[in-house]
Amino acid sequence: METLKDLRLYEKMYFTLFNDVTKAVKELQQKNYIQAETTLKNAQCKTEEIYVSEGRSLSNRKFTRASLRKTKKCV
């Protein structure tokens, strides 16, 4: 069962992704493809950081935090 803390975490992650996806769509419409890609990759990283910083462990997931960093090249 999800707690209020869990719901707030997912809400924060959702709005982070939603806002950055909206920004990336605008960039795509303006044909700024590289910037759109960068915006989406940064959104992945920001959302991952929110998840990890809120005390969630990725160790029980298919991907570990280290493998996510390698694939997305989060800074």
What would the mean pLDDT of 29-36 be, rounded to a whole number? 98
**Is the predicted pLDDT of residue 20 greater than 60, yes or no?**
yes
Contact 60, 54 (CB under 8 A): no
Query: Is the full-model pTM beyond 0.75?
Result: no
Which has more confidence, 50 or 3? Answer: 50
Q: Mean pLDDT over residues 22-32, rounded?
A: 98
3-state secondary structure of 34: helix
pLDDT digits (tens, 9 = 90+) for 54-72: 755 544 455 455 555 555 5
